[in-house]
Amino acid sequence: MTRRPSTRAGIRLLSLVLLPGLTCSRTDHEAGGVQRASVRVGDTMRTYVLHVPSGPARAARPLLLAFHGTGESGREMERRTALSALGSRARLLVAYPDAAVGNWAEGCACSRADLEGINDTGFVRALVDDVARRHSVDRSRVYAVGFSQGGLFVHRLACEMADLVAAVASVAAPMSSRLAETCAPSAPVGVLVLQGTLDDAYPYEGHRRGGPSLLGAREAARFWRLVNGCAPGARARQLPDREADGTRVLEERWLACRGGVEVTLYTVEGGRHEWSPSADAGTETLLLEFVRGVRRAP
């Protein structure tokens, strides 16, 4: 299957207040108040964008890592989503990493980053440490969300970095079959999968003929239900159909899992390859509901 750059429809420019105080190996303050920073990973300098809520930090803040799709950047991910506005409301830090070669080493041995041996997992650890040196981070509440190919990558974080992330959310992307074959997390991790049934980049039902093999969205949710030892019965409901956009959202939640984590599948009937494939439920709102109160076990 040919990996295509994710669409850029619906990009929203957020007007933010310039926030001082980030001192990395190199820092530029961009217009609009988002801070760009860099961190060394081995012999390579990697970059990311950070949004810090305004006002004093009265307690350690959660950190959300937001991974862009193929051919995009952290800055474009920040503009595509309303995650910075969410961070301001929910008092959490939001970091938008930049891929080194246009995509992420998702663990499939198929992406350019995989084939070139890019140390993206090392970058994630270095980024979290870098943010924590400058701001008070609640290490028990580090979360990751990814869109498109970035969504495939966050499954790798759940598989290999359960000591760092408490929960991950994959948007408009399921999971690499090859990664699933070797996935052995050291602890339970909460997982959310959100995908439209009309996704033309990563089919909802998965892909196994020619090119990289992918689990379907429902199959990916089942994989994590089994890995996390969840009870088989899901709590299911249809979200209110408020907008006449031709979509409906089915929510399925598996709650009785080891470590108190949760596995959730949002199936967007009629939804396409978009950050928020239904006007009935914004992805930011669903994400906040999912991670609220979730902590990594000590």
Q: How far apart are the first and last CA of the chain?
A: 40
Work out how many domains the chain is built from and give that number: 1
pLDDT of residue 210: 60
Is 10 a member of any domain?
A: no
- Is residue 23 predicted with pLDDT exceeding 70? no
Residue-wise pLDDT for 251-268, tens only, equals: 999 998 999 999 999 999
Of 247, 246, 270, 251, nearest to 197 by C-alpha is 270
- Is residue 3 predicted with pLDDT exceeding 60? no
Residue 285, phi-psi category: left (phi > 0), alpha (psi -120 to 50), beta (remainder): alpha
Is 7 a member of any domain?
A: no
- Is residue 6 predicted with pLDDT exceeding 90? no
Q: Which domain holds residue 276?
A: 26-291
- Is residue 10 predicted with pLDDT exceeding 50? no
- State how far the Cα of 108 lies from the Cα of 96, in Å rounded to an integer: 22
Could you tell me how far CA 234 lies from the centroid of its own chain?
23
- CATH at residue 104: 3.40.50.1820
In which residue are the tokens 């996935």 written? 183
Is 46 a member of any domain?
A: yes
- State how far the Cα of 143 lies from the Cα of 154, in Å rounded to an integer: 10
Is 115 a member of any domain?
A: yes
Residue-wise pLDDT for 24-67, tens only, equals: 343 333 323 578 999 999 999 999 999 998 877 778 999 999 99
In which residue are the tokens 């980024």 written? 127
pTM of the model: 0.88
Contact 58, 45 (CB under 8 A): no
φ, ψ for residue 142, nearest 5 deg: -105, 125
Residue-wise pLDDT for 197-235, tens only, equals: 999 999 999 987 666 799 999 999 999 999 999 998 999
Distances (CA, A) of 259 to 64, 166, 230: 20, 10, 10
- Long-range own/partner contacts, residues 286-290 (CB < 8 A, 24 or more apart): 286/192, 286/194, 287/86, 287/145, 287/169, 287/192, 288/86, 288/90, 290/167, 290/169, 290/190, 290/192, 290/262, 290/264
The residues pairing with 48 across neighbouring beta strands, listed in sequence order, are 37, 97
- State how far the Cα of 73 lies from the Cα of 98, in Å rounded to an integer: 5
Structure tokens at 209: 């003929």
Is 283 a member of any domain?
A: yes
- Range in 32-36, 100-104, 146-150, 292-296 with the lowest mean pLDDT: 32-36
Provide the 3-class DSSP secondary structure of residue 151.
helix
Is 15 a member of any domain?
A: no
Reported as type and span, the H/E element at residue 115 is helix 112-115
Residue type, 217: A
- Burial bucket for residue 21 (CB in 10 Å: 0-12, 13-18, 19+): exposed
Is 97 a member of any domain?
A: yes
Reported as type and span, the H/E element at residue 242 is none
φ, ψ for residue 279, nearest 5 deg: -75, -10
Mean pLDDT of the chain: 88
Is 83 a member of any domain?
A: yes
- Quickly count: other Cβ atoms within 10 Å of residue 116's Cβ: 10
| Averaged pLDDT for residues 88-96 | 94
Q: What percent of the chain has pLDDT over 90?
A: 80
Per-position b or e across 148-170, b if 16+ CB within 10 A of its CB:
bbbbbbbbbbbbbbbebbbbbbb
